[in-house]
Amino acid sequence: MSYLQKHPGITRSRVNNFVNDNQWKDVNIQAVLYDLKVGGKPHVQLEVWSAPGQSRPPFAHAVKQEFKTAKVGQMFGPSWTTHWFRVTVKIPEQFEGKPVQFLFDSNSEAMVWSADGEPIMGLTGGGGGERHVDYALTPCATASEPTRMFYVEVACNGLFGNGDYHQHPQDRDIYYRLSSAELAAPNLSAWALYHDLEVIVEMAGRLPQDSPRAWQALTAANDIVNAFEHTDPSSVDRARTVADQFFAVESSSASHQVYAIGNCHIDT
């Protein structure tokens, strides 16, 4: 029996520490998910207008109001209030040839709007599996990108309300911190490895624990951690090879074929 089989809990903890944004983020996969990041002026300019009370003003009304300078680290609230951000970004030359995203984390729910009032996408800040804070600006930046302006409507509530959503009434006095508002160039290969590993770890944890495939998944996840070195960019490709070999294994012809079909629900 291998060490991995004797102590599967230790291996699972090791793999989870490799993936998570925790105290090991400077040396685990989190360290290579972005090639570049910049924030603050002149690259990112933030202005905000806070709607009165718990009103939900439409776009046409909000953008005509007087906006004030805002910055990362500010707190916004209380619960159920709405805050409109006018965002002006200028992608610098060093992003040339790279995909560029705007990362905006208000630790709450938010909506990105175009300058002419088209809703573009929803954002969910904070931690957890629902986290989605990236808005794609361009798949490949040029050396002289135009200045872009758009709006972000921030709602001071989480995905399921404020505080414990089983509690009624919910907490009315929660404030949310704007944690990030920056331009980033994602490392697409590293993100592919991250998502592959998410699937492998889930398989290791959710398949029957005495099944060969569960052990194969845990072994592959451990091998990926062994192959990775945050100071060596080529190690990402070596680790992805391990993932590719794991996914290349086919089940028998008698096995069920299962298809996953997603749908966008109304507040996406």
pLDDT in tens, 134-154: 999 999 999 999 999 999 999
According to DSSP, the residues that pair with 87 across neighbouring strands are 46, 150
Q: What is the pLDDT of residues 72-81, one digit of tens each?
A: 999 999 999 9
Neighbours of 181 (CB within 10 A): 24
The mean pLDDT value of the chain amounts to 92
Average pLDDT over residues 90-117: 97
Give the pLDDT confidence score for residue 216 in this predicted structure: 94
**Which phi and psi (to 5°) does residue 233 adopt?**
-55, -30
Q: Residue 64's pLDDT is what? A: 97
Nearest to 190 by CA among 38, 36, 35, 37: 35
Q: Which amino acid is at 183?
A: L
Rounded Cα–Cα distance for residues 109 and 122 (Å): 7
Q: Report residue 34 as tokens.
A: 């972005």
Residue 260 confidence class, pLDDT cut points 50, 70, 90:
confident
253 or 221: whose pLDDT is higher? 221
